[in-house]
Amino acid sequence: MLMNALLSGLTLGAMYSLVAMGMTLQYGVSRIMNLAYGEILILGSFATYVLFGSLGISPYLSLLVVAPAAFVLSWLIYSIMLTPLVARARNPIALEVDSILITFGLLFVIQGIMLVTFGANYTSYSYLDFPVNVLGSTTSANRLVALLAALVLGAGAYLLLLKTRTGAALRAVASEPVGAGLVAIDVKWAAALGFALGGAIAALGGVLASTFMTFTAQMGVAFTMKALIVVIMAGVGNVFGAFLAGFFLGLVESMVATFWDPGLTIAVIYAVFLLALIIRPTGIFGKAA
Amino acid sequence: MTFRKLKLLAAAGTALAAMSLTGGALAQETPGKVKIGYAISKTGPNSGGAMTSQVPNYELWVKEMNEKGGMMVNGKRLPVEVVEYDDRSNSEEAVRAVERLITQDKVDLLLSPWGTAVNLAVGPLFAKHKYIQMGPTAITDRSVELAKRWPLSFWLAGTSASYVDALVDQLVKLKKEGKIDEKIAMAAVGDGFGVDLSGAARKALPAAGFKIIYDKTYPVGTQDLSPIINEVKAMNAKVFVAFSYPPDTIGLTEQARLLSYNPDLFMVSVGGFFPLYKQRFGDAVEGVVTLGGIDAKSKAIADYMERHRKATGREPDRSASVPMYASLQVLEQAVERVGLDREKIAAEMKSGSFDTIMGKVSMPDQTMPTMWKIGQWQNGELQGLGPSSLPGAGKITFPKPAWPAKKD
């Protein structure tokens, strides 16, 4: 039973951490609280569904198209819609408020387009859903792939942020945007890159989730909420923290469901969230303000 | 002030309605067309259900009438005009839209919105202006009381207890035949219908001599249902009943199959009767018990499904669609017999008998007793099993065949 709970917690946590890593990049580096984040994710799910359903392209192969497309789309959203806000914002708080409002609008635009295009129905298909035995406990291959993807992405993000110049620039902009500009980092470029990378990760999450989850055009908000909890709990902008916190929440959820009551998962998650914020208002891995 | 204006309009509407009632035949002699209106969830969380079970049937029905030249009223065919609003899955929006349909668009007939909550919200308005309210997706334990209070309302699906009764009836039979023991495992989604059904089951199952050995509720939107399946599998539960919503209906089936949990009876609820369910699981649906059902042998139903596919480009669901369409046929025939006076229509619907795709239908208690409550996927079709007293009721395949092996 413990092994079952561990495995299900890890696969669930993988999704949470994957989704949260993208959001924390957007929020941390480009200072945009993107409420339309979940919509980009669902857009990725639908794109995969269409590519798989009509052209028979494997969902994992479609990743090669969907993730770059989301990258470009997010870059465009940032440079067309959000740069004017960044330019006129007098302080970070003003930018945060403006970005919340504009991405709230964007949420409905993207959702509306998906509703018109794909309808409001539940969508589900099966791909790679055969059972895989891991240490005496069973899960499906597609969930295992998502787990691996989260691990790879976590490692990739770690390498990118800590071992490359680009990563250093992103981190610099995240921690001190004004100072970063002073040392000849193109802040605008770094912010757009952070936002676009976040969008690509969202789409990646959508592609992976679509293989094992029933989704609708209106489900994006649920993902945005979960990601938001993980991001805030981990400390805004901390990618590695989001990675760990995602897994942590997944494990908590499956432990509660297995050993206590499936009905209490949400209550416990929010209790943990509140507790974390009371003890460390800037997040578990966040720096003191 | 718009609010005052609205109230004024409402008052004017009531006065007009009262006048047309007293005016009787005189006012009704020269309508050039029949105006039918509805507010329904075309967007929002309810739209998945509304756009599967109700809207396509409204469209099909109107299209077929207009192809015949219109609705037969007082011996003459009048073209049907439709006024449609989106309630955005919001009760207040639905109330406003229905008010507009009554007072501004002055529709002759209203069709009902989707779902229990919205139907309860607009109920008083329908009743106040004496409009017929009739739908298969409003399921409440108060339906008997509401039917009395609102004499023009028809609660086709009856109470949630009636669904559980149909299930218990099957279980009792299996127990009598010695095929199952008294142990039942049960999971339910912690929302609306799931809470109602599991609540009814907690009373009905022990009363019928069963013991609920597993009883857990999970939140809406739970993504990972493997803890539940792992636990009932570890308990070796032979009868598993889930009062679930579409995403978890699919999730539970998926997990049961993945973890090779093969109970003798496997039941899921909302969504199990969607075309998506069969499309998603293919042959693996064989033997799964779920809500709803159709008479798979009926030619009239097969013919209806074909027309539905042709006209709307989509597959009807196997629970609410058929009674929805049949009830529209009832309405159409009642209008043909008594004209557009809505109180007379309701009286005729209660006392008369009507030819529909479900055969002869009569609705004396403002409900549709011929609606299937529980069915089982047999040979690729969701065969209705209960109420077992209905003509055409199928026999349960027991035990359910094991999930077929994965091919990919």
Q: How much is the pLDDT for B47?
A: 83
| Structure-block tokens of residue B122 | 């607009």
**Main-chain phi, psi angles of B105, to 5 degrees:** -80, -20
What is the distance between the alpha carbons of residues B82 and B258, in angstroms, rounded to a whole number?
47
On the question of pLDDT at B9 being above 70, the answer is no
ipTM exceeds 0.85: no
Region of residue A136 (phi > 0: left; psi between -120 and 50: alpha; otherwise: beta): left
Residues of B in contact with A121 (CB under 8 A): 48, 51-52, 276
Provide the angle, in degrees to the nearest 10, between the axes of the packed helices A2-30 and A141-163. Answer: 40
Smallest Cβ–Cβ distance between A120 and the set B43, B230, B280 belongs to B43
What is the distance between the alpha carbons of residues B198 and B189, in angstroms, rounded to a whole number?
9
Q: How much is the pLDDT for A6?
A: 92
Q: How much is the pLDDT for A287?
A: 67
- Cβ partners under 8 Å of residue A38, min gap 6: A107, A202, A219, A220, A221, A222, A223, A224, A225, A227
B13-22 pLDDT, tens digit per residue, is 454 444 444 4
Residue with tokens 């912690």, as numbered in its chain: B190
Interface of B with A (CB under 8 A): 42-45, 47-48, 51-52, 187, 190, 216-219, 221-224, 226-228, 230-231, 234, 246-247, 250-251, 254, 258-260, 271, 274, 276, 280-281, 406, 408
B227-285 pLDDT, tens digit per residue, is 999 999 999 999 999 999 989 999 999 999 999 999 999 999 999 999 989 999 999 99
What is the distance between the alpha carbons of residues B141 and B116, in angstroms, rounded to a whole number?
11
Q: How much is the pLDDT for B17?
A: 47
Q: How much is the pLDDT for A284?
A: 84
Q: Is the peptide bond before A262 cis (omega within 30 degrees of 0)?
A: no
Q: How much is the pLDDT for B23?
A: 40
Residues (pLDDT < 70) of chain A are 287-289
Q: Do the Cβ atoms of B408 and A261 come within 8 Å?
A: no
Segments in B88-159 forming alpha helices (H): 91-103, 116-128, 143-149
Residues of B in contact with A140 (CB under 8 A): 254, 258
| Element holding B268 (H helix, E strand) | none
Interface of A with B (CB under 8 A): 1, 4-5, 8, 11-12, 15, 115, 119-131, 138-140, 212-214, 216, 218, 222, 253-254, 257-258, 261-263, 265-266
Q: How much is the pLDDT for A289?
A: 45
Smallest Cβ–Cβ distance between A4 and the set B218, B221, B230 belongs to B230
Q: How much is the pLDDT for A177?
A: 83
User: Å from A266 to nearest chain B CA?
Assistant: 7
Q: How much is the pLDDT for B46?
A: 84
Q: Hey, is B58 helix, strand or coil? A: helix
Q: Do the Cβ atoms of A8 and B48 come within 8 Å?
A: no
Smallest Cβ–Cβ distance between B218 and the set A11, A216, A263 belongs to A263
SS (HEC) of chain A: CHHHHHHHHHHHHHHHHHHHHHHHHHHHHHCCCCCCHHHHHHHHHHHHHHHHHHHCCCHHHHHHHHHHHHHHHHHHHHHHHHHHHHHHCCCHHHHHHHHHHHHHHHHHHHHHHHHHHHCCCCECCCCCCCEEEECCEEEEHHHHHHHHHHHHHHHHHHHHHHHCHHHHHHHHHHHCHHHHHHCCCCHHHHHHHHHHHHHHHHHHHHHHHHCCCCECCCCHHHHHHHHHHHHHHHCCCCHHHHHHHHHHHHHHHHHHHHHCCHHHHHHHHHHHHHHHHHHCCCCCCCCCC
